[in-house]
Structure 1
Amino acid sequence: MGAIALLFALFLGADCAAPLGVLNPKPTLAELSDLRGRSRYISVFTTACLPWMTGTSVNPLLRAVYLEQRPENHQITLCVPWINFQDQETLFPNKVTFKTPADQEAFVRGWVREHVGRATAIKIAFYEAAYAPDFGSILPTADPTTCVPDGERDVAVLEEPEHINWYHNGAKWCDAYNYVVGVIHTNYWQYAITDPQVNFLQRFSRAVTLYTLNEWVVNAYCHRTIKLSGAVGQHPKAVICNIHGVRTKFLDIGTRAAGRRFTRGAYFIGKALWGKGYRQLVEQLAKYRQRTGQSIALDVYGSGPDHASIVEEATRRTLGWTFFPATDHAAPTLHDYKVMVNPSLSDVVCTTTAEALAMGKFVVCADHPSNAFFKSFRNCFVYSTAKEFTLCLQHALAADPAPLTDE
């Protein structure tokens, strides 16, 4: 896989790999990257789609809706994967499935109306894709660039540019589009190096291969990349900027929570994949019990391919967790929780952490580059050791969160 994808990256996308300072025919890359002052066609490509509640389905959708609202009147197309019925049954929560892309598009538009508070006129286009269990991810099975007409290929935003290009064998992104920017969401090194299903040598080999491959394909297919934090490698032509935000709905919940008493304790929310923090969650709460002699009655929200094995491990260790299917983080059932526990080390910037803080909750999270943005928040408790985790969680459960400020 790595050699083939790397070959495509070098052969098909090498023209994108030139340094930004190289002379180019007019207009310059700087001019092509400027979205201010005039309407542009912008295509946002991502690797997941609602109702799969994951960061790469929600954040790109919100980004597309935001870009639509800018005064330049940009013409936005959100490009998402279309997977078959069997894959939908595997990934989508609450047994939601779709017969046609039009049905799924209607679901996405309905979600925007409900959770953003307005309708959206963005175009939604689908490219053929399939779920790859070995990756825990959706991969394109056809050229994603073809889901946008030639005349509308101006600016491309590749959400997870490494992921979407592992098997890319279609048009050169930098030929198909005038300007290509990649947004790096995921710490794939951490996923690979902590995979519990294989031994250390296999994990290390996979991690090195994936790291190298990701460096190549991102350099080959993007004019510029944006790292949401310093948690990922030194990608060429990259800047670090947290361009994610939260829906106004979360801030409204946080404003209403000021001065109230939370009636429920701690919870975790995340896609049911071991790499999404569940391994660290098991270990930290097992050590918490060893240190204190008490178990935390944790409620866990999430659906996904590893759900059965996660439940089995938590049961085997008698951790006392209660499991619920994937739920929107803004749902009323989650308003009464006081503490979100998030020990994940695989995030680049964790969307659910931002959402929990916006809702006026405490967050207990690891001292890790992915959480650097949140460390200054009064309600965020950061730990480096198992002892610190215990102290942070005990304090969060005993205290009351500080009210949100205007800042």
Structure 2
Amino acid sequence: MSDDIISVPSLAGASSRSDEASALTASENSSTTLEDQLPQFSSLVASMSELWLQQEKKAARSSMEVDAEINVVSNETNRKAITSESDLNLPNRHFHIVTTAALPWFTGTAVNPLLRAAYLHRRTQKISRQDQQWVTLVIPWLDRPEDQKETLGRIFLSPQQQETFIRDWLRHEASMPDAASGLRILFYEARYHSGLGSIFAMGDLLQTIQGAGLSMDVCILEEPEHINWFRAPGDGWTQKYKFVIGVLHTNYKEYITTNGGVSGLWAGPAISLLSSAMVRAYCHKVIKLSAALHDYAPEKEVVCNVHGVRSEFLTEGRRRANECPSDKDEPTPYFIGKMMWAKGLDLLLRLEDYHKALTGEYFPIDIYGKGPEQQMIQKAFQTGSRNRKEHRQTNNNNINGSIIGKTVDIIQHNATCGADNTETASCKSGAASDSSISTSKTSSASKASTLLSVFRENILLSQENMTQKVREPIPCRFPGRVDHLTLKRYKTFVNPSVSEVLCTTTAEALAMGKFVIIPIHPSNNFFLNFPNCLGYRNEFEFVANLHWAQNNEPLALTPEWEKQLSWEAATDRFIDASAITIEEAQNRKQLGHNKLDERIAWFHKELGKGKRGNMLRKLLGGGPLSDPFKYGTPNHYQDETTTMVSDRLTDSDDTASLSSNESMTNDREVISKIGASIDRDLRADDTLLDVRGDFRPSGFSEAVRASLSSLKRTVA
């Protein structure tokens, strides 16, 4: 091995040559045990992995510098040619930031939109040079105490109480007293959907905003697909606002595919199709936080990290850099996030198992956070169970109540019954001969019963052996939910998730000057170039990176790296990413994309009206969100096929207003007829707009109305 291969650039002056020498000496000593060799071998691998990582970072940085130079020239050229609607640097522009979560639910869709609003408030004050409220944050108000308890962890008696909490947090925790007093906050009525783990609006959001008398200029939809899945019918966002930007936070397709168990038609392909339709229909520009998301509307999309971290995290990073390493630092790595399997905690179990197989022991870890699957996750880590699915039903470990057990009972019963009706029987077993065994009806039943009993005993024995193999618990702690900023004593953050779009806690850990161990994945591309980021492709590299982090100290962030993580830089990126050039706008118009978007918005509005809309929302898994009209004005939601809303479904009858069989039969008929009409309409003339731009009757719209009117009469 040549010197240039093993002269690894150390993060804190550690000698890779000494690591290699130790490993080679240990390998030559035949009396050394495997347990003694493995840590030394891991040290060598860590050094090699660091070299490869540094080489990749060097190449990536060179590529980034070239791209940056191109982008500077491109931005200067395009700045002069962007449409006035998309130019967010113009003075006297009003911003409405609409999101689906609010503090004290410390989730990404609550914290990041709040901070975006706060920093946009500062920016607009400088641009407009007038002390006015240019920015409004539109957030949900959960009127049901059980929903507040589940998401917020506490109960507010009024929206004003929650608003006071949010402003106090901005003032004291985010150190933004100007935004705390100058930002306008508007609440809309909402409900929590436990199956989807998300909050959705009740009533027409646009009507709520317009009712407040606000200027409809620029709208920022945080998670536009989420906001519009179950929204009440009404005018579209692009009809009311001059410019609408959608920021995509969450990989819902990954969540639904991974977790399953959601009622209705929620599956990966279904949610992808529906989300794409919502994004196309209601946004002029779409910003994806990372390339981990699939394409929704390619001609509208741009990939850009428009999130930052609070200044307090960067201050903590400077403090750590200026102080010498202390014995008080916690060597144990930690994870912080919502307690859900989809956050990568199942992958963390696999990494623990691999670490034990390689080193002979599990690595300790502290896991912070709360969530709907917290009990199952704690049980998996603390009892040694490695199959997360076995915790979904408590009887899965009981063979008598399992599918296999029931199958054995059925086969055994059939064998006994069959013996009563025939003189001979044939019994086959995987371990026995393929030849038929002719017996009397008594011996046949006895033989079948014996073989199946042995089969049952083997299953029980294998389950018992499996349980014994995985019963060793992992040395971990679950301290609960905390503010990430309080975790100053740790130096290593582990986040194995590949379902995120862009993980805020990863950015916060980097800002605090910690090592960050994350998988090499599109969702992490923004972070992989930071010097303290240790990326891995597989379990082996994870173990090597963990060993490296435990034996080295993180580097201090340079001012350039700090700036990339700041909200000031994120706001700059957001303004640049939102721009639409005049050429781009002309291309969209020529290709007919605007017509397609208008058609989708109209179709979504029509299907969501009245009782038929309630039923379709139920079919799509809306549950308690199926009737969003509780907070609306009845006349606003009427159409020619719907009676007064006063006879709509009640809250207590969310799932039982129609019998299950009637509901499913009618729903299937509606979908079948609508699908057939879509096929006919697509073969016909695609032009749905007259010279005035209004929708004129078509075979498609008439079929929808006829089908749903028939459905309404059947239900009535």
TM bucket normalised to smaller: 0.7 to 0.9
Report deviation, 1:394. 1.6
Partner of 2:485: 330
For residues 308-364 of structure 1, give each alpha carbon's deviation from its aligned partner in whole angstroms, at most 9, with x where no partner exists. 111121122112211122111112xx0010111001111111111011000000000
Aligned-residue offset at 1:35: 1.6
Alignment partner of 1:89 is 2:149: yes
- Distance across 2 between alignment mates of 1:197 and 1:295: 31
CA–CA separation in structure 1 for the residues paired with 2:208 and 2:552 = 51
- Matches of 2:201 and 2:553, distance apart in 1: 46
- What are the residue-to-residue correspondences of 1:7-406 with 2, within 5 Å? 30-70=83-123, 71-73=126-128, 75-83=134-142, 84-93=144-153, 96-119=154-177, 120=179, 121-148=182-209, 149-169=212-232, 170-195=234-259, 206-236=267-297, 237-258=300-321, 259-261=323-325, 263-264=329-330, 265-317=332-384, 318-331=473-486, 334-406=487-559
Aligned residues: 373
Secondary structure (helix, strand or coil) at the match of 1:381 reads: strand
Q: When the two structures are superposed, what TM-score results if normalisation uses the length of structure 2? A: 0.50
Residue ranges of structure 1 left out of the alignment (5+ in a row): 1-27
SS in 2 for 1:126: strand
Contact 1:379 1:401 in 2 (8 A): yes
- 1:46-76 CA-partner distances (Å, limit 9, x unpaired): 1111111111111000000001001124611
After alignment, is 241-250 or 304-313 more displaced? 304-313
1:221 is displaced (CA, Å) by: 0.7
- What secondary structure does 2:334 align onto? strand
SS in 2 for 1:152: coil
Q: 1:272 to 1:150 in 2, by over 3 A?
A: same
The answer (yes or no) to whether the contact 1:299–1:322 under 8 Å persists in 2 is yes
Name the structure where strand makes up a greater proportion of residues. Answer: 1
Identity %: 42
CA shift digits 1:210-259 (9 cap, x unpaired): 11111111011101100111010112111111111111111100000014
Distance 2:218 2:205 in 1: 14
More displaced stretch, 225-234 vs 130-139:
130-139
Aligned partner of 1:252: which letter?
T
Contact 1:29 1:179 in 2 (8 A): no
Q: Please, which runs of 5 or more residues in structure 2 have no aligned partner?
A: 1-80, 385-472, 561-716
SS at 1:182 equivalent: strand
Distance, in Å, in 1 between the alignment partners of 2:351 and 2:104 is: 30
**Structure 1 or 2: more helix by fraction:** 2
TM-score normalized with structure 1 length = 0.88
Contact kept in structure 1, 2:137 and 2:184, CA below 8 Å? yes
Matched residues in 1 for 2:277 and 2:355: separation? 41
Cα distance, 1:280 vs structure 2: 1.8
Aligned to 2:626: none
* Root mean square deviation of aligned Cα: 2.0
1:280 maps to amino acid: L
**3-state DSSP of counterpart to 2:478:** strand
What letter corresponds to residue 310 of structure 2 in structure 1?
A: R
Q: Which runs of 4+ in 1 moved over 3 A?
A: 202-205
Distance in 2 between the 1:335 and 1:252 partners?
11
Cα distance, 1:197–1:338 mapped onto 2, change above 3 Å: farther
The Cα of 1:388 is off from its aligned counterpart by: 1.1
Distance 2:172 2:101 in 1: 20
Give CA deviations for 1:272-316 in whole Å, capped at 9, x if unaligned: 122122222222223222222222221111012111111121122
Check conservation: 2:260, 2:267, Cα contact below 8 A.
Answer: no
Q: In structure 1, give the amino acid aligned to 2:496.
A: P
Residue identity matched to 1:226? I
SS at match of 1:138: strand
Distance in 2, Cα, partners of 1:381 & 1:52: 30
> Following the alignment from structure 1 to structure 2, what is the Cα–Cα distance between the partners of residues 32 and 75?
16
